Amino acid sequence: MILAGVPAQGTAAVPQEAVDTDYPLGVADKVRVIVFDEPSLSGEFIVNANGALSMPLIGDVRAVGQTATEIATVIQRKLMDGYVLQPRVSIDILTFRPFYILGEVNKPGEYPYSSGLTVDGAVATAQGYTYRADKRSIYIKRAGEARSVKSRIAPDLKIRPGDTIRVGERYL
């Protein structure tokens, strides 16, 4: 859970789990917004096609490209502008936008993203490689980018929400 306006304790390194969950939101991400002591302003919201969260009282809040912390700060400021005296806002990311895998896998398609997903996990979700698959490299098109990038397959190669993975055919 990310609290806006609450300073972090100490200067310890950020754990990997926090890095995975504090990423720029995109269309179809689902979040839970909690405004402390204001249940009528709290709830679950989906980033709509316009790239915003439609909130009670304050209307649309731009979400695409913003982290949960940044959005919580914006919501807090808007609520302070005549609605709530001292709002405390937290945001949890409930579901990430899906990733897509195509090419030489047994079940290409759209799959739900889970935090910390690697290429190996994505291929396993798609029920493995076909016998023709190139198991040394893949093409990844990151969400919001125009081009695919060829990458060598490594155990720690991370997939992000909204990525499109293409497994090519191997050539002898």
Ordered per-residue pLDDT tens for the chain, 172 residues:
444 444 333 333 333 344 344 678 988 899 999 999 999 999 999 999 999 999 999 999 999 989 999 999 999 999 999 888 999 999 999 999 999 999 999 999 999 998 889 999 999 999 999 999 999 999 999 987 899 999 999 988 999 999 999 999 988 7
Please, are residues 65 and 74 in contact by the beta-carbon 8 Å criterion? no
Phi, psi of 16 (to 5 degrees): -55, -40
CB 41 within 8 A of CB 91: no
Instruction: Enter the pTM of the model.
Output: 0.72
Q: Please check whether residue 138 is in contact with residue 168, taking contact to mean a CB–CB distance below 8 angstroms.
A: yes
* Number of alpha carbons in the 13 Å side-chain half-sphere of residue 45: 27
Which is it for the CA torsion 141, 145, 150, 155, positive or negative? Answer: negative
The pairing of strands 99-103 and 164-167 is: parallel
